[in-house]
């Protein structure tokens, strides 16, 4: 499993690459305390069975997860030993402290929390108004957002395709506590889209979507998990 470069030729200098993924001075100090001399820091972008993809400053590492190792999650910061050409594969050595974590109940009879994403600063709860609107579902996601430690932001989109936008906005405002944004279409530049872009610029870490085409990511029956950070 060879390590590959993931930064474009005109990308930021190596010293700034981890910062673009959310790295800061506190993480620097935490990594130093791990004492993993032959390892490099990186952020987990994908988790598969027994292996994960780690974005580091120099390369993408497909790192083996050792037996009895703490289960990694998308968004985790980790120490990884790079692969040796013609020798050992890259190996996950340690996970760093999770500042925030989205959890769901793992499938099965035993009640066990499963972390689906970690170290998220802001989460957008997106509801398109050309589809079914559920205040109860939005409220549940909002609660999960607050419980994770992240900053939730409710986005009501495609208001131009809704005949009763004002009613849905008023319903969402009843639970939003000042974190509601509405806009027509992402294809057009507007003050609302500029506001969202500004939020993303101020936040150092990633965003996740709580639903996908395969269902609710926080439903233990769902086979979907966040597969990448962005």
Q: What is the domain-level CATH number for residue 161?
A: 3.40.50.300
Q: Does 223 reside within a domain?
A: no
Q: Does 146 reside within a domain?
A: yes
DSSP letter for 13, please. Answer: -
Q: Which domain holds residue 86?
A: 14-95
- Output the CA–CA distances (angstroms, integers) from residue 179 to 30, 61, 185, 207, in the order listed: 32, 37, 19, 15
Look at residue 48 in the predicted model and tell me its pLDDT: 93
- Return the CATH number at 54: 2.40.50
Number of domains in the chain: 2
Q: Which of these three, 95, 129, 150, is where a domain ends?
A: 95
191 or 116, higher pLDDT? 116
Look at residue 215 in the predicted model and tell me its pLDDT: 42
Residue 207 to residue 32: CA distance in whole angstroms: 27
Q: Does 101 reside within a domain?
A: no
Q: Look up the pTM and report it.
A: 0.75
130 in the same domain as 48: no
Residue 206 has pLDDT above 70, yes or no: no
89 in the same domain as 124: no
Look at residue 6 in the predicted model and tell me its pLDDT: 66
Residue 33 to residue 96: CA distance in whole angstroms: 10
121 in the same domain as 90: no
What's the half-sphere exposure (Cβ side, CA atoms, 13 Å) at 127? Answer: 24
133 in the same domain as 201: yes
Residue 200 has pLDDT above 80, yes or no: no
Residue 151 has pLDDT above 80, yes or no: yes
Q: Does 82 reside within a domain?
A: yes
């Amino acid at each position: 499993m060879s390590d590959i470069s993931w930064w474009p030729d005109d990308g930021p200098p190596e010293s700034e690459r981890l910062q673009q993924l959310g790295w800061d001075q506190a993480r620097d100090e935490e990594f130093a305390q791990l004492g993993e001399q032959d390892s490099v820091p990186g952020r987990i972008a994908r988790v598969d069975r027994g292996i994960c993809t780690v974005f580091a400053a120099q390369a993408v590492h497909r790192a083996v997860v050792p037996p009895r190792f703490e289960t990694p999650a998308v968004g985790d910061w980790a120490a990884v030993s790079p692969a040796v050409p013609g020798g050992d594969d890259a190996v996950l050595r340690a996970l760093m402290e999770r500042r925030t974590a989205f959890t769901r109940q793992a499938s099965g009879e035993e009640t066990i929390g499963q972390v689906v994403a970690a170290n998220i600063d802001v989460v957008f709860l997106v509801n398109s108004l050309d589809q079914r609107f559920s205040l109860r579902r939005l409220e549940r996601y909002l609660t999960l957002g607050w419980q994770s430690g992240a900053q939730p932001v409710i986005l009501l989109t495609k208001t131009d395709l809704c005949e009763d936008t004002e009613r849905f906005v008023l319903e969402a405002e009843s639970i939003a506590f000042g974190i509601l944004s509405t806009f027509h279409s992402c294809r057009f530049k507007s003050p609302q889209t500029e506001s969202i872009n500004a939020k993303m610029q101020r936040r150092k870490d990633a965003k996740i979507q709580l639903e996908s085409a395969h269902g609710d990511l926080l439903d233990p029956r769902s086979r979907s998990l966040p597969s990448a950070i962005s």
